[in-house]
Chain A
Amino acid sequence: MSTKLFTFKGGVHPPQNKTFTQNVPIENAVDPKIVVIPLSQHIGAPCDPLVAVGDTVKVGQKIGESKAFVSVPVHSSVSGTVKKIEQHQVPGGSKVNCIIIESDGKFEVHESVQPKGNLESLSKDEILSIIKEAGMAGMGGAAFPTHVKLAPPKDKVIDVLLVNGAECEPYLTADHRIMLEKPELVILGIKAIKKALGVEKCYIAIEKNKPDAIEMLQKLAEGEDGIEVCPMEVKYPQGDEKRIINAITGRIVPSGGLPMEVGCVVENVGTVATIGNVFMTGMPAVQRVVTVSGSAVKNPKNIYVRIGTLFKDVIEQCGGYSEEPGKILNGGPMMGIAQFTDEVPVVKGTSGILVFNKKDAQIPEPSNCILCGRCVEACPVYLQPYKISRFSILKKFDEADELHGADCIECGGCSYVCPAKRPLKETISIAKKEILTRRKKAK
């Protein structure tokens, strides 16, 4: 293994807290009795339901679809009967239309679920349509439809595929376990994506706190053309796509731009493994690995969960709450979203369910900024968080714009390091939203 570690400038070192689950093999979830499947689990147009209340459905059956290009279909994760189609709270924070299915406990697989045959015999377009039909959206958190990323406009030449196995969020170990336990699916997924994109070169980025995963994938990559494992320094947000591109290729994605503008596509390793599974078994994205951890979870685990299973059922399988929960998160502690209830479903972007006790859930009171400069040093985008935050609080959004508030990736590093506990990311996000709305209006 080369000793060179890839990394970026800036960033923070929160305690990793991964030991609770990093050596716990992925466990299959207890079968849910009820699943709540949101018709919108991705960025883009929501789906229209293809089934009606009372219909029977099977595992892998398409139950929602949209005609829009930026959208992916949704599938049933159980076999059973459609009970309701109604608005339901989802982890993203809002209510969206969901299909609620009662499982019959049989898990009969739908006849459309068939292995997709040899990659060699499939054309680029066929691969793309299989990926779209399987409902693939980024599983690292942002949930952008995968086929859209893989079909850039003609004038953008993509030459590098980056597989993001950094998993820099504390607590989360789902991607780590996937790389260890399903490495062949990762490799198969990479081959499919490489073919769809027509690229030669693929780098797998893994933080060096996962030496077993690095070794495992290195072994498999040896037998493959153009797949290389890149050990990364352990630092947050190492897994941000623009940081990964910069660390490994040295390329800089322009402000406000997308990775494709510098010839790169970044896919989360969990997404890649799921794509591998789609080609291997034909089963669309109806399950995902979720890390369940945090101070108020009795037995932290990595669980292979059916999409639509309610958080409380998943937590139940981990022994339930060890003490009264103070906070429940969808995702990691740095960027995850706090939930108001545990009756939200696991969606394609749910990488973790974290439950903190009352004490850990407290956010300390802010005091005056002492101008220590730690936030400036932490920012991976080289912004000046203390200034932008100040302008945002004063509602001086033009000034916040001049300081590039809209380039904030909302990683939370600034808020994390601030000794005065200022709500930096929170206030900068407000400015960012405001700036982007104004820009849209101006157009």
Chain B
Amino acid sequence: MENKLIGSSSPHIRSDETTQKLMLDVIIGLTPALAASIFYFGFNSLILLVASVVAAVVTEYLCERAMGRAITVTDLSAVVTGILLAFNLPASAPWWVAVVGAAFAIAVVKQVFGGLGFNFLNPALAGRAFLMASWSTHMTTGFINPVTDVVASATPLAILKGTATGTLPSVMDMLLGNIPGVIGETSAILLLIGGIYLIYRGTIKWIIPVVYIGTVAVIALVVDGGGMLLYHLFGGGLMLGAFFMATDYSTSPVTDKGKVIFAVGAGVLTMLIRKVGGYPEGVSYSILLMNILTPMIDKYVTPKVFGVAGGVKNEK
């Protein structure tokens, strides 16, 4: 009997939370918005989602095979990236744009750096930025208006910015998602429900979404006044970004204090881009910029060790 006993180091029990379960939770949180995107934008939305998810998973598998790493497609993180990337595309985008974007996100942004946890940029957002740089027409024009089904509608934020003409949609339409935009960002209310689900489950913490949205709200109030507030909050990608992109574990700070800094920074940058920069929307770039700062934040914003007076340094 002796030698059959397992002699591992303590602790001898582990929580039943796994990476896979966390990712599954994120997918569940994205599901209402996903359903809405198909509802509003129809078949093409479904094609983009499928193309993107399949491309992400296949790329992950192939990269891991090629680099001789353990195959981790079952952890579902590639599925999450695939959905998020598709969410960032306009409904009129051709399917191959989704494939190229997802493949780039997984291969270049994630696997080259060592796979899950080692990437410092959010793969979906970096994939989107890559597509913007390469095929900007597919990315910034061709927003479909779900009501009229007409291509090339202006998004609420573009109208707000004055880079496009049109009438602003009603607040109700904006909450429900009945507005032009990329396929995953339009239904504020369903994204909110998914986000609250994740917070309730403990999958993500409330800090980043609440502080991020709060920062945007405060700046919007000060700069644009109360009338435009709801458009700033619900007319663009803020809900999607704040709940599902900025909360990505690997690319956001680990500590609570770090998360606050990250979220305030993202909020300020978002409004800076919207009001001063050249684009109508600034959510993805501001999150990417804060992704870049995250390793620094994690290096310097650290908890104070119990029983150590002041600072983190050891007085030797």
**Which residues of A (346-382) have their CB < 8 Å from a CB of B?**
354, 356, 360-364, 367-374, 376, 380-382
A242 within 8 A of B: yes
Give 1 or 0 for each of A302-342: 1 = CB within 8 Å of chain B CB.
00000000000000000000001111110001111111111
In the assembled complex, the CB of B67 is this many whole angstroms from the nearest CB of chain A, namely 13
Size band of the interface chain A makes with B: 35 or more
Partner of A370, one of B7, B11, B250, B253: B250
What chain B residues lie within 8 Å of A369 (beta carbons)? Answer: 117
Q: A338-B5, A340-B5 are in contact. Are A255 and B250 (CB under 8 A)?
A: no
Binding stretch for chain A, among B18-26, B27-35, B54-62, B145-153 = B18-26
A429, CB-defined interface residue at 8 Å: yes
B14 near A381 with CB under 8 A, answer no
Residue of B nearest to A416 (CB): B11
Instruction: Tell me the complex Cα distance, A404–B1, Å.
Output: 40
Q: Of B7, B10, B13, B19, which is within 8 A of A419 by CB?
A: B19
Q: Flag if B14 contacts A416 (CB, 8 Å).
A: yes
**Min C-beta distance of A158 to chain B, whole Å:** 18
Are the C-beta atoms of A407 and B116 separated by less than 8 Å? no
The answer to whether B305 and A170 touch across the interface, beta carbons within 8 angstroms, is no
Q: Which of B190-207 contact A (CB under 8 A)?
A: none
Contact A338 B12 (CB under 8 A): yes
Chain B interface SS verdict (over half): loop
Within 8 A of A (CB), among B290-306: 298, 302-306
- A356's nearest neighbour on chain B, judged by CB, is B12
CB distance from B291 to the nearest CB of A (A): 12
Q: Does A425 contact B11, Cβ atoms closer than 8 Å?
A: yes
Is the beta-carbon distance between B5 and A367 smaller than 8 angstroms? no
Given A372-B249, A376-B254, A404-B308, the answer on whether A367 and B70 have CB atoms closer than 8 Å is: yes
Q: Say yes or no: is B68 at the interface (Cβ < 8 Å to chain A).
A: no
| Inter-subunit contact B307/A257 (CB<8 Å) | yes
* B29, chain A: closest CB distance, angstroms: 15
A340–B2 CB distance below 8 A: yes
Known contacts: A363-B14, A368-B117, A423-B9. The answer to whether A325 contacts B1 by CB under 8 A is: yes
Q: Is the CB of B117 within 8 A of A371?
A: yes
Given contacts A254-B308, A334-B11, A370-B77, 12 further A-B contacts (CB under 8 A): A326-B4, A326-B5, A339-B7, A372-B254, A373-B254, A373-B255, A376-B254, A384-B303, A403-B312, A415-B11, A421-B18, A425-B10
* Interface residue ranges, A against B (CB under 8 Å): 12, 14-15, 170, 242, 246, 252-257, 324-329, 333-342, 354, 356, 360-364, 367-374, 376, 380-384, 386, 401-404, 407, 410, 412-413, 415-421, 423, 425-426, 429
Which 5 residue pairs across A and B have the least CB separation, nearest first?
A412-B11, A373-B254, A255-B307, A382-B303, A368-B117
